Amino acid sequence: MEIKILGTRGEIEESAPYHSKHSGILINNKLLVDCGEQSFLDYDPHYILITHLHPDHAFFVRSGCFQMIDIPIYAPKKYKELLISTRKTPFTIDGYRITPIPTIHSLKVKSVTYIIQHKNKKNLYTRDMIWIEKKYHHLLKNFDLVITEASHMRTGGLIRRHKKSGKIYGHTGVPDLVRFFKKYACTIVFVHFGAWFYKDMQAARKKFEKLAVANDIEIIVGYDGLELIV
Ligand SMILES: [Zn+2]
Ligand SMILES: [Zn+2]
């Protein structure tokens, strides 16, 4: 699979080249996972899969404009009059087997991670998340690559609890994600960087290097335009 990382900036102000665009990953020039920038449509993807309807993952939530989207779009929830397919069970598009798995992230929007299989390759595309419920863990195995988020470097991330419902929301930390996903893949790619990353990008890269050594895995620090072949 040819994977092109189009954007690696989380929901923060733009401050650095190569990490300026919001979420978007193009697979084989065909599938676009998240569309945080309208300009990603210029790549002419055939299908769009949205992990969740936060504006840094779905540009139209911020701009309100979606009329220019004329290709099939999949997301965990509908948005206004936009024709969105909300699939909960595995489905196949154009030879790609897609399995959406619910993730815990936000109180207001539903979020999913996607397993995408094509020929003999299988990758996991997660974005903002705290956790994946145990009942779905049996689906997580033997990935060639896991692509996930790096909003917070500190262990535990930033997780809040809603007073009334007791439900949690936010993002877990990079070390937690490494510990969790290393069971299922030897290589983890990080995207969706939070403010911590931009303060000292060299120090940030060192932290990823340390984590890779400590956990005996390969960590790739994504940047806007990075191309990977898996
Ligand atoms: Zn986000
Ligand atoms: Zn989000």
Domain with 156 in it: 2-223
| pLDDT for position 126 | 95
**Rounded to the nearest whole angstrom, what is the distance from the C-alpha of residue 106 to the centroid of ligand 2?**
7
**Rounded to the nearest whole angstrom, what is the distance from the C-alpha of residue 166 to the centroid of ligand 2?**
19
**Rounded to the nearest whole angstrom, what is the distance from the C-alpha of residue 50 to the centroid of ligand 1?**
11
The answer to whether residue 106 is domain-embedded is yes
The answer to whether residue 218 is domain-embedded is yes
Domain total of the chain? 1
CATH number of the domain where residue 75 is located? 3.60.15.10
| pLDDT for position 139 | 96
Angle at 82 between CA 112 and CA 76, to 5 degrees: 10
The answer to whether residue 68 is domain-embedded is yes
Confidence band of 17 (pLDDT split at 50, 70, 90): very high
The answer to whether residue 229 is domain-embedded is no
| pLDDT for position 50 | 98
The reply to whether the predicted model has a pTM over 0.85 is yes
**Rounded to the nearest whole angstrom, what is the distance from the C-alpha of residue 191 to the centroid of ligand 2?**
13
**Edge-to-edge strand order for the sheet containing 47-49?**
84-85, 73-74, 47-49, 31-33, 24-27, 2-7, 227-229
| pLDDT for position 222 | 98
Read off the pLDDT of each residue in 67-89 and give the average, rounded to a whole number: 96
List the one residue out of 84, 104, 85, 212 whose CA is nearest residue 157: 104
Read off the pLDDT of each residue in 3-11 and give the average, rounded to a whole number: 97
Confidence band of 121 (pLDDT split at 50, 70, 90): very high
203: left (phi over 0), alpha (psi -120 to 50) or beta: alpha
**Rounded to the nearest whole angstrom, what is the distance from the C-alpha of residue 60 to the centroid of ligand 2?**
14
Q: Tokens 């609890």 map to which residue?
A: 161
| pLDDT for position 172 | 98
5 vs 66: CA distance, rounded Å: 22
**Rounded to the nearest whole angstrom, what is the distance from the C-alpha of residue 171 to the centroid of ligand 1?**
9
**Rounded to the nearest whole angstrom, what is the distance from the C-alpha of residue 76 to the centroid of ligand 2?**
13
Q: Which residues, chain by chain, have CB under 5 Å from ion ligand 1?
A: 11, 56, 128
Confidence band of 130 (pLDDT split at 50, 70, 90): very high
The answer to whether residue 228 is domain-embedded is no
CB neighbour class for 183 (10 Å; exposed up to 12, middle 13-18, buried from 19): exposed
**Rounded to the nearest whole angstrom, what is the distance from the C-alpha of residue 31 to the centroid of ligand 2?**
20
The answer to whether residue 172 is domain-embedded is yes
The answer to whether residue 141 is domain-embedded is yes
Chain segment 188-222, per-residue pLDDT in tens: 999 999 999 999 999 999 999 999 999 999 999 99
The answer to whether residue 230 is domain-embedded is no
| pLDDT for position 42 | 98
| pLDDT for position 6 | 98
